[in-house]
Amino acid sequence: MPTPRIPAARVEIPAARPGRVDVAAQILGEATRLFAAHGFDGVSLADIAQAVGIRKPSLLYHFHSKDMLRRAVLETLLARWNDVLPKLLMAATSGSEQFDAVISKTLAFFIEDRDRARLILRELLDRPTELQPMIETHVRPWATLVSDYIRRGQDQGRLWIDVDPEVYVAHVTLLVLSSIATFEVIAALAPKSPANSPRVLLERHTHELLRIARTSLFRPRGRDPESTTHE
Amino acid sequence: MPTPRIPAARVEIPAARPGRVDVAAQILGEATRLFAAHGFDGVSLADIAQAVGIRKPSLLYHFHSKDMLRRAVLETLLARWNDVLPKLLMAATSGSEQFDAVISKTLAFFIEDRDRARLILRELLDRPTELQPMIETHVRPWATLVSDYIRRGQDQGRLWIDVDPEVYVAHVTLLVLSSIATFEVIAALAPKSPANSPRVLLERHTHELLRIARTSLFRPRGRDPESTTHE
DNA sequence: CCGCGTGCCTACCAAATGGTAGACAAATGC
DNA sequence: GCATTTGTCTACCATTTGGTAGGCACGCGG
């Protein structure tokens, strides 16, 4: 590093860190952000350390290797997912409103922190085999539950019979992930008009995503008055 | 490299490379494959050189920097896309079969070489701002054309009026990209059964993708077998 | 007050990275 | 036949990488 590095002023602010927040958590946060933005290989330990405001060895004191840091990031993400999963499963019992709720909640989980979507999409591309077991344990149950729900709905005639339940679920999930992960870029396709603030654009995107998911699943209600499935 | 590297046997096979294929093309091919699989930062020039069977400096003779190689890879991809674009545009004139044809052809383009989808998805994540202009020139026209087609269809009452044309196009495009790019992993969600060969699974995926795109766009034809739909 | 664990640091390391210099051989043009 | 160009190589380089060694200050329990 060309910066002469002033001897780190070893004297000043000796104990001036009272309300010191958990450094490990800070590292985890910055790592998440940077991995999501540039990928695991695109970020160096020094980058992360700098973002946190510490030196590399201090970082390695908390996480013994770069790969362990990556796994920690992933595990925290999955832990958060496990927090919301039960709510999703409870909502996934019957009716179209419930279905909407499930997708909306899933969507909300990723919109709340878009890095989640980016991170997962990256892992999907970079380490598919390593991700497989996690998928198996964390999304398989959710996916089969929704699939079963779909199959029941098909039997009852409420859903299109030509839906391929598992594949449908996979596609909608992927669509959620990728459209959130790449929102900025994709959004730039539509704008031109100043009426498109990122705020309203995101709203349009999630709304349309829900519409696609819904329309391609549910058969139109008994009769619907001219046009539309108005929500 | 720890391999003692036998003096490269400078004597043997002196001119034994008559049908020498274009080395630059070979490099481009291997680079495409590796970048798609591991990302730009996850691949070293040495990796690519080894895959081709040459040394690093030889590679740098053809492409003066790693970044130029990346751009070349991207440009070749876009060139191929430009080959099929006209056909797509011609097919995008009217009617639902034509619409299917457009999506099918797009799908086929990426299925023909799945690295294309992976590559673009990666660029979308890694260098969004750099990709923006390419999107502007290479997909914007196509997207607006389809959007206009949708709007016309809406006026004629053939399509759902609550479709958000631009956003719909963006989502379907993204779905194509991501579901092809991550096919292997996602496919593993459904299998369990030995009846699911990757072959048939891919067919199921593309079929369901088309179904989703179609169903969420077109209103059911006048009457359709089985009950409901028609208002 | 003393020892010890915690946490951060400087200093360092071997390996790998992207890239250059320059030798050499085979084709190619004249 | 000779000069030049083309393409590959070995050898090297500076920088960056993930990671280690070990020291130093602090706080806390005895």
Taking only the tens place, the pLDDT of each residue in A76-98 is 999 999 999 888 877 766 555 77
For residue A5, the model assigns a pLDDT of: 40
- For chain A, give the mean pLDDT: 85
Contacts of A156 in chain B (CB under 8 A): none
- Among A125, A132, A207, A209, pick the best mutation site for testing chain B contact (most B Cβ within 10 A): A125
Are B190 and A166 a contacting pair, CB within 8 Å?
yes
Token readout for B174 is: 């993204």
The answer, yes or no, to whether residue A8 has pLDDT greater than 50, is no
Among A38, A125, A166, the residue with its CB nearest the CB of B190 is A166
- Among A58-67, A184-193, B25-34, B162-171, name the one with the lowest average pLDDT: A184-193
pLDDT range class, residue B93, cuts 50, 70, 90: low
The token pair that represents B32 in the structure block: 């495409």
Confidence band for A179, pLDDT divided at 50, 70 and 90: very high
A-chain CB neighbours of B227 within 8 Å are 157
- Asked whether residue B39 carries a pLDDT value surpassing 90, the answer given is yes
Residue A182 is nearest to which of B125, B136, B188, comparing CB atoms? B125
Q: Is A14 helix (H, G, I), strand (E, B) or coil?
A: coil
Distance, in Å, from the CA atom of A196 to the CA atom of A187, rounded to the nearest integer, reads: 9
- CB proximity A23–strand C (7 Å threshold): yes
Give the pLDDT band of residue A3 (cuts 50, 70, 90). Answer: very low
Our CA angle for B199, B203, B207, nearest 5°, is 170
Distance B15 CA to D3 C1' (A): 21
C-alpha to C-alpha distance for A36 and B82, rounded to whole angstroms? 31
Q: How many CB atoms lie within 10 A of CB A159?
A: 22
What pLDDT does residue B10 have? 35
Task: Tell if A56 CB is < 7 Å from nucleic strand C.
Answer: yes
pLDDT at A71 over 90: yes
Strand C contacts (CB < 7 A) among B residues 26-55?
A: 43-47
Q: Find, in chain A, the residue whose alpha carbon is nearest to that of B171.
A: A179
Q: pLDDT at residue A53 above 50? A: yes
Amino acid at B166: E
Cα–Cα distance for residue pair B103/B176, rounded to 1 Å = 9
Residue B47: predicted pLDDT:
98
Out of A38, A220, A230, the one facing B220 most closely (by C-beta) is A220
CA A191 → CA A91, A203, A204, distances in Å?
35, 13, 12
The enclosing H or E element of B120 equals helix B114-126
Whether B202 and B111 have beta carbons less than 8 Å apart is answered as: yes
Distance of B61 CA from C28 C1′ (whole Å): 19
The reply to whether the CB atom of residue A55 sits less than 7 A from any atom in nucleic acid chain C is yes
Nearest nucleotide over every DNA/RNA strand to the A58 CA, judged by C1': C8
Distance measured from the CA of protein residue A64 to the C1' of nucleotide D21, in angstroms: 15
Q: What are phi and psi of A227, to 5 degrees?
A: 20, 170
Strand D contact nucleotides, protein CB < 7 Å = 7-11, 16-22, 25-27
| pLDDT over threshold 70, residue B179 | yes
Identify which of A132, A135, A121 has the alpha carbon closest to the alpha carbon of residue A179: A121
pTM attached to this predicted model = 0.88
pLDDT band (50, 70, 90) for residue B96: low
Look at residue B192 in the predicted model and tell me its pLDDT: 67
Indicate whether A133 pLDDT > 80: yes
**Confidence grade of residue B91 (pLDDT, cut at 50, 70, 90):** confident
Nucleotide nearest A45, CA–C1', reads D18
State, as a whole number of angstroms, the distance between the CA of B181 and the C1' of D25. Answer: 52
Residue A2 has pLDDT above 60, yes or no: no
CA-based nearest distance A3→chain B, Å: 25
Say which residue the tokens 């704008």 belong to.
A191
Confidence of residue B62 (pLDDT cuts 50, 70, 90): very high
More confident residue, B124 or B199: B124
Closest CA to A59 of A68, A67, A70, A48: A48
